[in-house]
Amino acid sequence: NTQIGFVFGLHDGAWEKSLEELRLVAEGNGGRAHVSWGDGSERSALGTWCKKQRYLQKLGLLREDRKARLLEIGFVFSLQGEAWEKSLEELRLVAESNGGTAHVLRNDPERLELGRWCATQRTLEERGDLRADRKARLLEIGFDFDRQEVAWNQRLEELRLVAEGNGGVAHVHQRDPERPELGRWCDNQRARVGTLRPDRKARLRKIGFVFDPLEAAWEQSFEELRMVAAGNGGVAH
């Protein structure tokens, strides 16, 4: 009785099993129905199966019903399309661990390829060559196409890291030999405080940024003195 879903062909049974494995992978992988071929993992056999489905599709030998079911679970037949999906997933994970900021600098030493990929998406969007569905998915995870906005967010993140290692003082002097560009950026934010967007002002204050230049100078000097005391047996002198 075929009404209960019994599969008579051994080949059909094996195909159904692999499809189900791939469906479970997609469920736990942000909807990305893919396993890399030859990656040496416990799913290498499934990766080989994925590669075979692409090869059969390229030759025109993949059954239409099977193709439809693969597409239904998010399988990508184009290797270029799969590479895009992989980069999108990497960026989504970055955004999750980065307060919703889906951005990687082009020269980020830890994620060079992903940074270049982000820059490419902006270039494609500026030229009108980015597919509408891809643009929508990038926007969905918090990707910002505005290069100026991206640059501002990056400076804010740099300043946040400075504050974390500086006793909560979110300040860099303009003449700081290690971070002169960030120091100039800080001075620019103070100079523009009257016209600075409310959301930007709020985000700067959240990380401890001081808009009053005299107060900022005092905080910086106090932090320097605290460091002297820490390395001088508690003597702040």
pLDDT of residue 171: 77
Give me the mean pLDDT over the 150-159 stretch: 87
DSSP 76: -
Task: Identify which of 175, 155, 154 has the alpha carbon closest to the alpha carbon of residue 220.
Answer: 175
Give the model's pLDDT for residue 38. 57
pTM: 0.55
Give the mean model confidence (pLDDT) for residues 161-166. Answer: 84
First to last CA, the chain: 90
108: helix, strand or coil: coil
Q: 168: which 2 tokens?
A: 């909560």
Q: What's residue 39's pLDDT?
A: 55
**128 φ/ψ sector (left φ>0, alpha ψ -120 to 50, else beta):** left
pLDDT at 1: 45
Residue 130, phi then psi, degrees to nearest 5: -85, 130
